[in-house]
Structures are given as structure tokens and as C-alpha cells.
Amino acid sequence: MPRPIERGLGGRPAPEWLERPERSNALALRTMVWVAMVLGRPAARLMLYPICLYFLASSSRARTASRQYLSKVLGRKAGLADSWRHYHTFAAIILDRLFLLTNQFSRFDVRMHGVEIIDEIAAAGIGCVLLGAHLGSFEIIRTAGRARGPKIGMVMYEENARKVGAILEAIDPDLQKEIIPLGRVDSILKIEAALARGEIVGMLADRTLNGGGTVSCHFLGQAARFPTGPIRIAATLKRPMVLMFGLYRGGNRYEIHFERFADLQQDAGRGRDAMIEQLLQRYASRLEYYCRLAPYNWFNFYDFWR
């Protein structure tokens, strides 16, 4: 069973993922963009091999975290070949963002499961919260949603990966309009306004922030803390929640999965904390299911269970 909700981190150190300096090299990123846009995706994918080798050799903490996670999800001791595949999957998905942001969705083979859930919510115009994770590609979900009609905005922490974000924004200047930044005074008001317009708001619910409440959940055989914020926001605004995962399956293939998660039309009152605990454990269980389905797609390169 989940432990009681921890009301904030107080004087605790910042989460490890937030303390990590961004390792991206601006020149390398611009070179990758040039190769991708001028020479095409096959040539750009060849560049992933030296890039992944460099990061595999130079990022010992991330490599250790990768092998820790992979050993849990694969049910065996993970080796360097597994970490290589983990890094390469991450790099391939970042590369594909360039093509998705330049309206090249048609070059990908995308299979969608449960998309009728989103179609129904969009037709009703009530708005909903999409709960995802740092698993696979959110960009493939956002682009697929744009192709079908409903607008999907993203709630995210702006400080993370600023170099990559700046280059992607230069490719698609409208990208920033679809992002609601976390950590600002008006963040919740912007989320509420978007939902009131019938829009779909996506949140990645697997990383904690300073000052945010957490719940300890069973995840891949060990307790890990998950943030209460995304589910608490949906509960406060009384909006349905849908799980979303855009899994990379190799080559140009993706699978998008949607699942009904919760429809919080009524105020839970005093029982809200217990409800949030139960929903977070269910979220952790479904995340574990999709991690096992596509184990090299989860991109938290730090000690998640610390």
C-alpha cells in the first residue's frame, strides 16, 4: 500500500534529475539539425552511433542508472549492450522530433490504440488531462493529436534541457505557444483556462519537484516516490484523466496507447488524499506495464529509487 502523502520536500536537496547539468553540446545539436534537414533521416541516424558511444563512455552516473533500471525491468543483469540500446532509443526519439516539428508526420508508421477515447472527449468539448511519463515520445502524441483535430498542450518544467528546447523552438516557433511552464504563479490558472476551452493538457507524472507532495508507490519491485501534483490538479479541476504513452518500436515505427484512467466529476472532500494515493499506485502499475512492454523507452537516467 502507498505510504501517506509527503506534503513537500522542505529542506531536502533538489531531485537528482533537476540537479544534473545539461550535457548537450550546442554545436553538435546544430550539426545534427543540419544533417537531418539537408541530408535526411538516414544520414542523421548514422550520426547517432558516435554520439551514443560518446555519452555511453562519458556519463558514468547515467550509465549506472540505466543499468539499474534495465536490470529491474528486464529481470536479469543488464550489460553495456543494453545501455547502448537504451541510449540509442533516446537519441533516435530526439532526432525524430525534428521531423515531427517540420510537419513530416507521414514518414512514420504510427499505430494508435484507444484513440476513440480522445475522439469522444474532444467531441464533448470538456477537456481532459493526459498523464504520461518520460517514456517514449510525447511529440508523436502531440503531432498525431494535431493531425486529428484536438489541440494538445504540454505542462513542463522549462529549466530542463534548455539547449535542446531552444533549437526545437527555432525549428517550430509555435511550439512555445503549446507549452504551459511549471513553477510560475499563474501555471495553474493557465491549465484551468486551457481545460475550460475544451483543450487537452498533457503532463508527465513520473518526476518530483522541490516543494511538491509525493507518494511512495511500488514500482518495478521497489518503492519509489511519485509526485501528487498532476493528479491533484485534475482532481481540483474535476477533469477526466487519460493515460498516454507513445512508444518507439524501432525504424520509423511508433505505437500510441491511450487508456481511461479516472473521471473525477465529484469532489472527494476529506477522502481526496486517499484517492490520490490509490490513483498514483495505479499509475505506477500501468507505467510498469508499459516499461516492460518497451523497456528501452524509459528515459530517467538517474537513480529513480533513491
* Domain 16-297 architecture: 3-Layer(aba) Sandwich (3.40)
Q: What is the pTM of this model?
A: 0.85
- pLDDT at 121 exceeding the cut of 50: yes
Contact assessment for residue 302 and residue 61, using Cβ atoms and an 8 Å cutoff: yes
- By C-alpha distance, which of 245, 291, 224 is closest to 73? 291
**What is the DSSP code (8-state) at residue 6?**
B
Q: Which residue has the cell 477526466?
A: 240
CA distance readout (Å), 47 to 29, 63, 145, 245, 294: 11, 20, 30, 27, 23
H/E stretch holding 59? none
Q: Label the pairing between strands 179-181 and 109-113.
A: unpaired
Mean pLDDT score, 286-292: 98
- In tens, the pLDDT along 44-72 reads 999 999 989 999 999 899 999 999 999 99
Q: Exposure string (b/e) for 52-77, b if CB count within 10 Å is 16 or more?
A: beebbeebeebbebbbbbbebbeeee
H/E stretch holding 252? none
The residues pairing with 202 across neighbouring beta strands, listed in sequence order, are 130, 154
For residue 17, what pLDDT band results from cuts at 50, 70 and 90?
A: very low
